[in-house]
Structure 1
Amino acid sequence: MSKTPALARHTLAQMMRRLRRASGVTLDAAAAEIGCDPTTVGRWEKAKSSPRRSDLMMLARLYNASSAEIGRMTGLLMQAGQQGIWESAKLSPELRTLYEAEMSATSIDVVELDLIPALAQTMEYLRAVQAVELPPVSPSATPEMVERTWRQRHELVFTDPVPTIRLVLGQSSLSYLDDLPEVQSGQLNRLQELDALPSVEVRVLTRLHASMIGGFTIIDPIDSPEGVGVPFVFIEAADGCRYVEDSDVVSRHRAIFEMVWTRAQPIEEYLK
């Protein structure tokens, strides 16, 4: 079992797309080389599916990939085809990638305006969220499955070594706790417990800021020999999730996060 097959698939897709563009080969030409439809190559480059090893080798030669790049891609392909930890959780491919990346991250930066960030939620808060019928992690996921996924996700992220985690909460996410007296104390305690960890910081936004259009997560995975080390931005919305690895998009979100981080107030100071 591989820990990160979905993340490997995304990294392989990014490499294939980058190599094709650098070589000046079009999708049509790449598809013609291996005798398939251009939409098939497009699906590989969007991590919707993975190529056969023989097709990958033909494309690598067409793109003039180096031996190191070929070795990295074949390793990623092997990883992508294995069973992952989250396969049974009925998560979307985007959420599987997010959860896998959290497990192998060096840093996680989160801005969440109206909700307590998922990595900081207590089980009681999670149940309260489910009660107001926010979009579930999967349409077919039962409450029991969601809670089991919550436990496993927290255990995997907060096992040594814990990545560097910076969480920025909107003030409204804490104000809503006033209506949940049975949840409030435990959730505030959890935020303080996390903030006390050496690699975790929690801050609260109390004024106008650069991320008022919405929250997001930036993850820097470990740049391992297997190659699953592509930084990305994860954006969640009512109509689905977006996993964006374009370097310009990641850079813009990093800049926004740093502006928001400097304007936010440490949780301990806010709660005094």
Structure 2
Amino acid sequence: MTHSAHHRPTLAGRILANRIEHARKRAKLSMGELAKLAGYHTSTISRIEACKQGVSRPQLDALVKHLSLSKAETSEVYSLQLRSKERGWWEPFSEHVLPVTPLFVETEQAANRIDSVELQLVPGLLQTEDYTREVQVAEGYFHSETKYQINRELRLQRQKHIFYQEDIPSIRYLLGPAVFVYLNNLPSQIREPQLERIKERASLPEVDIRMLDQLSGANVSFTLLTLDFLGDETGTVLHSEQVGGERMIEERRVVSRYADIFERTFAQAVTLEEYLT
């Protein structure tokens, strides 16, 4: 697990917060009770567990004394605390991205399964540079070449961390018809390379791309990221892009609902090959 969090400080911090919360509940301690035992205010424990503040070494020392951790668990939380202080590969872009982006890209990179619904555009991990530029210009998000280059480099790094590693995660995409409506209306010098990129990725044994050719329960775009070292409670995380910004959701009830929608819809969808013939 600690290897999976290496050079992913935001994710390491989130896992550490999860471990502390789980251990506290296992010890049958309220936040207030743990705070009193450790010598901190209840709001400090609340912010730590909500991952709204990091955990210093002295704080962790005080908490560990009252959490009844095994030797392995103790070693893990100290390792996570150290890793949470590392410099993430995304940090050069940190001033230009949304607050949720670091956690998203690190979770995406560490996931062993990625399930994604995209109704309007080619998913970011499949986009070519020219397609990315075309979309950003059309949406009017960036008004300077500098901002475009920053976003472009971040996207390229995301693709590199997923597709140019030894173990590619299992990836399943559900694409809406509008994805190809927009793509087919682009100039051929943008359209053709992008179509080839989609086919190239679809040919990988780890990647399964399917198309929605009818109305379905999947009426919003979202991504489910599954990690095999987060534990039962937060094994899958939902990333949702909506009006007002992006969100990362771990609440089991919400995640399960989206997972059910994905599985039902994926089973009914046609393969990319069938759709294109």
TM-score by length of 1: 0.87
Deviation at 1:62, TM superposition (A): 2.3
Task: For 1:117-266, list aligned pairs within 5 A.
Answer: 117-133=123-139, 142-159=147-164, 160-182=166-188, 183-212=190-219, 214-223=220-229, 230-266=235-271
Aligned-residue RMSD, C-alpha:
2.3
**Aligned pairs, number:** 263
- Mapped contact 1:16–1:45 kept (Cα < 8 A): yes
Unaligned runs of 5+ in 1: none
**For residues 30-55 of structure 1, what are the alpha-carbon distances to aligned partners after superposition, in whole Å with 9 as ceiling and x for unaligned?**
33333333332222112222111222
Q: Tell me: CA distance 1:69–1:208, structure 2 relative to 1, closer, same or farther (3 Å).
A: same
Of 83, 101, 110, the residue aligned with 2:116 is 110
**For residues 184-209 of structure 1, what are the alpha-carbon distances to aligned partners after superposition, in whole Å with 9 as ceiling and x for unaligned?**
22222211111111111111111121
- Mapped contact 1:107–1:165 kept (Cα < 8 A): yes
Of 80, 87, 98, the residue aligned with 2:104 is 98
Report the identity percentage.
Answer: 31
Deviation at 1:2, TM superposition (A): 4.2
Q: For residues 269 and 28 of structure 1, what CA distance do their matches in structure 2 show?
A: 58
Q: Tell me: CA distance 1:133–1:39, structure 2 relative to 1, closer, same or farther (3 Å).
A: farther
Q: Match of 1:6?
A: 10
Letter in 1 for 2:223: T
Q: For residues 10 and 92 of structure 1, what CA distance do their matches in structure 2 show?
A: 17
Q: Match of 2:90?
A: 86
Q: Match of 2:70?
A: 66
* Other structure's SS at 2:68 match: coil
TM-score by length of 2: 0.86
- Mapped contact 1:17–1:45 kept (Cα < 8 A): yes
